Amino acid sequence: MASLAERTEQARRCGALRFVPTSMEVIEQSGIAFQVRIVESLARKETATAAGSNANPFLPFDPDLFVAPISPTHIALLNKFNVVERHLLIVTRSFEDQRSQLTQKDCEALLIALTEIDGLAFYNAGREAGASQPHRHLQVLPIDAIGPLPIDAVLRFAHPQEPVGAVPGLPFNHAYAPMDPDWTNPEKISGASFHACYRQLLRAVGLSVDAATGSQAPTTPYNLLVTRKWAFLVPRSRECFRDISINALGFAGSLLVKDRSQAETLRRVGPLTALRHVTIPTPP
């Protein structure tokens, strides 16, 4: 996706892109240096207004935000309200419910994006998992834009004996799987293999898995995070810790707050404790 930087520049120039300025603080807990981004006051009103709209922003999408076709079923768009540079949305061409399980075609689109961009792909399955839009969208942030992921400090201790396992020290139900390097090799991309891995992650945390490949039933909310090296899935109990909305990025170690008082709450309570409150306890 060589055109990503170029498309970003064009979208910025024509006003389609609304960068949300933030300042950043680091708050450490249990060996993880969480990055807490605080929205600057002038940007708060505009993002709140945008979030309040009921129209589907992806159907039709704004052509000024279009980046590239990904596959016959998915396209790549720029996130209109980006906090991090080159934030990409991988959106289904026709409406699919954000709460239903990912299909093989979603998995294929995610892998295609990750072969092009060394990034963090993530999925907020449902409102309680932090999704603001009901139309199916995966998201990708380039690692060179977001920086090293704080969660890697603990993920590097995960060495599951099985294809899917747990990460020592994380105080909530989750499942981790190393990624097979072949899955993001452009010659060998296999949506089927990664889809099977995704279904194993769901099973490992106790979520039901649809029998049909093209599933439609809403599931329990969860967050999925995927890089070229690993995949990580966390079931959710609720969207917010107090008034702080948490999505998949929280589980990468990166939290977004509306103001300094929310950042202060995280400093007092600890970001890992906040994550524990919006998840499900580790089964005995």
Q: Which residues bind ligand AMP (CB under 6 A)?
A: 50, 57, 62, 65, 77, 79-81, 89, 124, 130-133, 137, 247
Query: Shortest gap between Cβ of 19 and ligand AMP (angstroms)?
Result: 11
Of 50 and 153, nearer to ligand AMP (C-beta) is 50
CB of residue 152 vs ligand AMP: minimum separation in angstroms?
Answer: 22
Residue 234's φ and ψ, nearest 5 degrees, are -130, 115
Is the CB of 81 or the CB of 215 nearer to ligand AMP? Answer: 81
Residue 120 φ/ψ, nearest 5 degrees? -105, 115
DSSP state of 114: H
CB of 14 to ligand AMP, least distance (A): 13
CA dihedral 7, 13, 15, 21 (to 10 degrees): 90
| Structure-token pair, residue 225 | 């995070």
CB of 127 to ligand AMP, least distance (A): 9
Looking at beta carbons only, is 49 or 161 nearer to ligand AMP?
Answer: 49
Q: What residues have CB less than 8 Å from 106, skipping those under 6 apart?
A: 74, 92, 136, 138
User: Based on CB atoms, which residue is closest to ligand AMP, 81 or 193?
Assistant: 81
Peptide bond into 21 cis (omega under 30): no
Pick from 266, 268, 276: which is nearest to 24 by CA? 266
Give 165's contacts (C-beta < 8 A, 6+ positions apart). 158, 159, 175, 176, 177, 204
Distance CA 106, CA 215 (A): 12
State in angstroms the smallest separation of the CB of 165 from ligand AMP.
Answer: 27
Geometric angle at alpha carbon 268, from 263 and 273, rounded to 5°: 95
Instruction: Select 111 or 131, whichever has its Cβ closest to ligand AMP.
Output: 131
**Cα separation of the two ends of the chain:** 44
> In this complex, which beta carbon is closest to ligand AMP, that of residue 124 or of residue 227?
124
Nearer to ligand AMP, 183 or 251 (CB): 251
**Nearer Cβ to ligand AMP (136/174):** 136
Tokens of residue 104, six digits:
């093989």
In sequence order, which residues have a C-beta less than 8 Å from that of residue 15 and are 6 or more positions away? none
- For residue 209, the minimal CB distance to ligand AMP (Å) is 23
CB of 79 to ligand AMP, least distance (A): 5
**Minimum Å distance from CB 156 to ligand AMP?**
27
In a 3-state reduction of DSSP, which class is residue 124? Answer: strand
